[in-house]
Each structure stands twice: as structure tokens, then as C-alpha cells.
Amino acid sequence: MQSPNVSQTIITVFLVYLVFLIGFGVYQGRKVKSGEDFAIAGRKLPGFIAAMSERATGESSWALLGLPGFAYASGISSIWTAVGCVAGITTAWALLAWRLRDEAEKYDAVTFMDYLTKRHGSLAKPIRLVGSLTIVFFFFFYVGAQFLGGGKTFSTMFNISPVTGIFITAAIIIPYTVYGGFQSVVYTDTIQAILMIIALVIAPVVGIFYIANQPGIFANSIPAALSAAGHEYTSLVGGLSGFGALTVVLGGISWMFGYLGGTPQLTTRFMAIKDDKQTKIARNTGILWTFLAYIGALMIG
């Protein structure tokens, strides 16, 4: 059980962070001078900022809560999901990002849907209709999951209900997002991506050293824990064989397709990069972040 002083320190640090995040978002929002600034940051994003924003947007609750939890519940077979995600992200940065950035500039597109309609002019109306309905439907659940992740974080830290945490999350995020649009979002994303990667790299190391000196817990090392968990937990295919094993492998790897242009909240980051030089910086940064984050998330689980 945490002491009152420790709890108060955590709350204080967290509140300072939130105030800084909101203030920084508002500060960036003041730079918005046009619709293009609001929608795509004026197409002037430095590579590092674009990569950090794309990674924070793409992972968020998934890397910090979802994947570690899935690895904890499923065991070694969760590696296939990580392989699929990393393959998709790497492919997107290596093969799609620079092309989409150039195409968006060519067609003067400020959103992914805007690009598709301008690129395929004769089919603009059906593309816009189907695309809009698809985005509204699926983003209802996607955004809901992000708010739920924020709500659970507040619930864990402050011992409040997840619903209250969701409302607090919305009250923090929505104002600076509406005020500064994409310009505010990408820079606050960068702060969060840096904190995420620090946590995902440090937490497994701290955890390994901690359990090594705790004789009373389930196991004192990762190999010992895996050994005690049993064959299904340590198997790459969850202890299955035949079609079941193939389903585990292909099901995990299939996650890669979700990153190949089907996520407009990510592709917009590609479109906003300043130039080809910055695109290369973004590619290298994004891929490196991804490898470190996924290794850390699996080790935490």
C-alpha cells in the first residue's frame, strides 16, 4: 500500500503534467493562421515530430495496456501479433509515407479522404460517401477505446470510477484539440510518445531487477515464470496444432494490414511532413520507436 506522501507526489506530478500538456497545446494552437494549419499543420512538420505523433496516435492505450495485457494472458503466442504490427508499421514508413506525402502535396489534399477524392475525381462522390460512413462508424469505437484507456488510467491512479475518468480525459483533450486542431495535437502527441517510449523501455528493466530480489513471488525471472506457466503459455502457437496453429500465426500477422493506408489518423501524419529530407528522418525515427516499444510491451506482459 502506498504511503500518503507517495500518493500525493504522484498526484502532484500528474497534475503538473496535465497542466503543461494543456498549456503546450494552447500555445501551439496560437500558431494556427489558416485552414491548412488547422487540418495538417501547414504541411510543415519536422520529421521527428511527425514520427512521434504518428506513433503516439497509432499505439496509445494499445502499447501501454492492450499488448502487455494480451501478452500476459496469451503468453509467447502473442509474439505473432507484435510481428504483424511491426511489419505493417515498418512497411508503411518505408514504402508508403514518402509517396503519400508527395501525392498529398501534388493534389493539395489536407486529409486522407480529401486525397482519395481528388486522386480519383470521377469517383469522388461515392468515395466521399462510403469513406465518411466508414470513418464515422469505426471511429466511434476507436475513439471510445482511447477514452476508455484514459478513464482506466485515472481510475487506477486516483481510485475513481472509470466513467468519471473518461469525462476527465475528454475535458482535458477536447478543448486544445478544438482550439488548435492538428497543430496542437501533433506536438502534444510528441510529448506523450516520448513518455511512452521511456516507460516501455524502463519498466521491463525495473521489473526484471525487482522480481529477481523477491523470493516470495511466483518466479524470479522471465524464463522461470514461463517454465512454471506451462506448455500452452510457452508455445509459439498456444499449444495448438494443425489449422488451429495456422490460425494463431496468420491471425497475428494479419494485423499488419491495418497499418497499410487504412488508418486516416496515421496517414495524415505522413501527408503533413515538410519535405523529403524530413520524411527520411521520420521513417527512421518511427521504425526505431516501434521496435523498442513492442519489445518493451511484450516484456512487460
| Residue 13 covered by a domain | no
| Residue 291 covered by a domain | yes
Kindly state the cell numbers that stand for 146: 482511447
Which whole number is the average pLDDT over 136-154? 88
| Residue 184 covered by a domain | yes
Which whole number is the average pLDDT over 167-177? 90
Cα(131)–Cα(116) distance, integer angstroms: 9
Residue 182's pLDDT band (boundaries 50, 70, 90)? very high
**What type of residue sits at position 168?**
I
Which whole number is the average pLDDT over 220-237? 80
Whether the pLDDT of residue 289 is over 70: the answer is: yes
| Residue 286 covered by a domain | yes
Q: What distance lies between CA 300 and its chain's CA centroid?
A: 16
Angle at CA 14, nearest 5°, toward 205 and 25? 110
Angle between helices 162-212 and 124-158 (to 10 degrees): 70
pLDDT recorded at residue 5:
60
Cα(22)–Cα(11) distance, integer angstroms: 16
Query: pTM of this prediction?
Result: 0.90
Which whole number is the average pLDDT over 128-145? 90
Cα(44)–Cα(37) distance, integer angstroms: 9
| Residue 16 covered by a domain | no
Number of domains in the chain: 1
pLDDT recorded at residue 67:
94
Residue 6's pLDDT band (boundaries 50, 70, 90)? low
The proportion of the chain whose per-residue pLDDT surpasses 90, expressed as a percent, equals 63
| Residue 4 covered by a domain | no
pLDDT recorded at residue 185:
94
Residue 157's pLDDT band (boundaries 50, 70, 90)? confident
Domain that holds residue 285: 43-300
Give the C-alpha distances (Å, rounded to integers) separating 242 from 37, 107, 219, 252, 262.
53, 49, 32, 16, 31
Q: What is the pLDDT of residues 183-228, one digit of tens each?
A: 999 999 999 999 999 999 999 999 888 887 776 676 667 777 777 7
pLDDT recorded at residue 201:
94
Residue 239 CB burial class (10 angstroms; 0-12, 13-18, ≥19): middle
| Residue 10 covered by a domain | no
Tell which residue, 47, 57, 58, has the closest CA to residue 101.
47
| Residue 125 covered by a domain | yes
Cβ count within 10 A of residue 198: 11
Whether the pLDDT of residue 2 is over 60: the answer is: no
